[in-house]
Structure 1
Amino acid sequence: MTHPAVIDRRTAHIAWRHHGNTGASPALLLLHGFTDSATCWDPVVPALAGLGGTGGTGGIVATDARGHGGSGLPEGPVGPRQHAADQALVLDDLGVTEPVVVVGHSMGALTAVTLAATRPELVAALVLEDPPPHGMGGRPRGVPAWLTELRALDLAGRVAYAREHDPAWSEAELPPWALSKERIDPRYCERDVPLLDPLHDLAPDVRCDTLLLYGDADRGGMVTDADADAFREAAGGTVTTVRVPGAGHNVRRDTADAYLREVRAFLDAVRSRRPR
């Protein structure tokens, strides 16, 4: 499989990568989870490149969230509203001519929902991978102990850790995941996070077609069947929910083939409903 060309760019404090054709609006916008970075999408970008048929023809954009990867950390709180404003900044800078499919994991999925609610003209459809369902926010909690322990290891040690603890992940997933843990700004964890409503309370503000993918709670998944049902019912018919057996919180890494199959089927269905 041919890997699309990659151009690294920056808009204000946000670093981002453009995969493929940079001469037109991107088809997909990829938003990573907490402590990950844009490069964590690299292993799956070639497979996703052909799935963005609801958007433009300009390839795929993956951003580093503020305080992550190569992005800066402006003063003030952090959270989905701030992250969504950052994504809108990038898309506005690109001058998008067609709405994009926004694909998010965990923290990035909450950002995607918020972007769709606040800037609906930018979003054609959503693919949400196990977002935190019960809201978030409040006083800062500091750097998590698990992240401190990982950052104390060298890169090879973090790769070995991931290989041992997540044996279902492909080898291609391990280096970018391990590298991202040393590229998050620890000050991010000290910032206030404005209170955020539960996922199902956000659903009525989302008008586009949405796919919610989640795993098993006993494998670390955050979304339960009840959470998924509540989100779908609150959205009023625009949400498709799929529990992926064998997956945990990292659906695309734990069960890559199933993840891509569900995303492909969803985007094909969305595309078939669009006026020609």
Structure 2
Amino acid sequence: MFGVRGRTAHLAWYRTDEAAAEVAFLHGFSDSAQCWEPLIRAMPGIRALAIDARGHGESGLPEEPIRYAAHRDDAALVLSSQPRDGGMVVVGHSMGAMSAAYLAASRPDQVRAVVLEDPPTGAPSAGQQDEQWSVPRWLADLRALDLPSRIARGRSEDPAWPDDELEPWAMSKAQLNPHLFDLPFQEAAPLTDLLAAITCPVLLIHGDTERGSLISTEYAVRCARAAAGEFRAVHIAGTGHSVRRDNRPRYIAELSRFLDRYR
């Protein structure tokens, strides 16, 4: 699917073809850029760029604390290496959505519009101190399995996911650099604070909190009130944290409508 592969500093990135990308994709924690391939393949005509976050996929891991400001600067570095007049639409999931929000808030020259798929809400104390973290149990359990077993686990736990989602999801877990957890990390700033600094159009897509979505309908209303620019929240019922995997047709419909207007 990705016809062009490259590196900028420590970062691996992938593009659909030689043409300048119009949409940049930032993945979630423990995923990789390859996890966007099934969605991009289902949306022919999109000229896409996807980036492996530091410590994920084929990207390197600088010896410094893990901060969203660093993820923002990583994305800005790659986008600067292949600029597009007026910036790109940036689509992010989870960790990648928060990184996209940081980028849109500070680099309006690079982001013409932003799509946030179930980002974390952030923490009021962000920026005050770095903390230590450890490998989540669910991730440690997955990494202990071979690839076929990880795929089988994914199919068992998320039977509604399209089959083409499972292999890149399973492969990304083994690619994650375990040294990531030796580095201190810093929580994100509150999403509402970031939205107050974002002037470009924002599409927030979320699912049901009882199914694992990080964004509730009530919090989405708070986001709408905080947003400085054009803002729309879409709740896709019956989905959890990975909205696009739980209901790809509806996700594509919402994303396509947004891209048709802003890319």
Once the 2 structures are TM-superposed, how far is the Cα of residue 95 of structure 1 from its aligned partner? 3.4
Aligned residue number for residue 224 of structure 1: 216
Which stretch shows the higher mean deviation, 138-147 or 169-178? 138-147
Change (3 A) 1:15 1:5: closer
Q: Work out whether 1:259 is the aligned partner of 2:251.
A: yes
Once the 2 structures are TM-superposed, how far is the Cα of residue 6 of structure 1 from its aligned partner? 1.5
Residues of 2 paired with 1:11 and 1:104: CA distance?
19
Aligned residue number for residue 227 of structure 2: 235
Aligned residue number for residue 71 of structure 2: 83
**Contact 1:14–1:66 (8 Å) recurs in 2:** yes
Residues of 2 paired with 1:151 and 1:125: CA distance?
35
In the TM superposition, 1:22-101 aligns within 5 A as 22-24=18-20, 26-50=21-45, 59-101=47-89
Q: Work out whether 1:146 is the aligned partner of 2:138.
A: yes
Once the 2 structures are TM-superposed, how far is the Cα of residue 102 of structure 1 from its aligned partner? 0.2
Q: Secondary structure at the match of 2:113?
A: strand
Q: Work out whether 1:110 is the aligned partner of 2:98.
A: yes
Residues of 2 paired with 1:212 and 1:23: CA distance?
28
Deviations 1:87-145 (A, max 9, x none): 11111111333310000000000000000111110001111100001336741211111
Change (3 A) 1:219 1:5: closer
Which stretch shows the higher mean deviation, 106-115 or 199-208? 199-208
Letter of the aligned partner of 2:28 in structure 1? G
Deviations 1:24-59 (A, max 9, x none): 3x11000000000000001011234436xxxxxxx2
Aligned residue pairs, count? 259
Change (3 A) 1:265 1:70: same
1:161 to 148, 153, 165: 153
5+ residue gaps, structure 1? 52-58, 272-276
Aligned residue number for residue 198 of structure 2: 206
Question: Identity, % of aligned pairs?
Answer: 45
Letter of the aligned partner of 1:36 in structure 2? D
RMSD: 1.5
Residues of 2 paired with 1:92 and 1:49: CA distance?
25
Residues of 1 paired with 2:193 and 2:9: CA distance?
31
In the TM superposition, 1:122-133 aligns within 5 A as 122-133=110-121
Change (3 A) 1:129 1:205: same
Change (3 A) 1:48 1:102: farther
Deviations 1:217-268 (A, max 9, x none): 1111110011111111101451100110111000000000010111122233
**Contact 1:143–1:190 (8 Å) recurs in 2:** no
Deviations 1:149-171 (A, max 9, x none): 10000000000000000011011
For normalisation by structure 1, the TM-score amounts to 0.90
Q: Secondary structure at the match of 2:186?
A: strand
Once the 2 structures are TM-superposed, how far is the Cα of residue 197 of structure 1 from its aligned partner? 1.9
5+ residue gaps, structure 2? none
Residues of 2 paired with 1:212 and 1:48: CA distance?
19
Aligned residue number for residue 15 of structure 1: 12
**Contact 2:199–2:229 (8 Å) recurs in 1:** no
Letter of the aligned partner of 1:188 in structure 2? L
Q: Secondary structure at the match of 2:256?
A: helix
Residues of 1 paired with 2:112 and 2:101: CA distance?
12
Aligned residue number for residue 260 of structure 2: 268
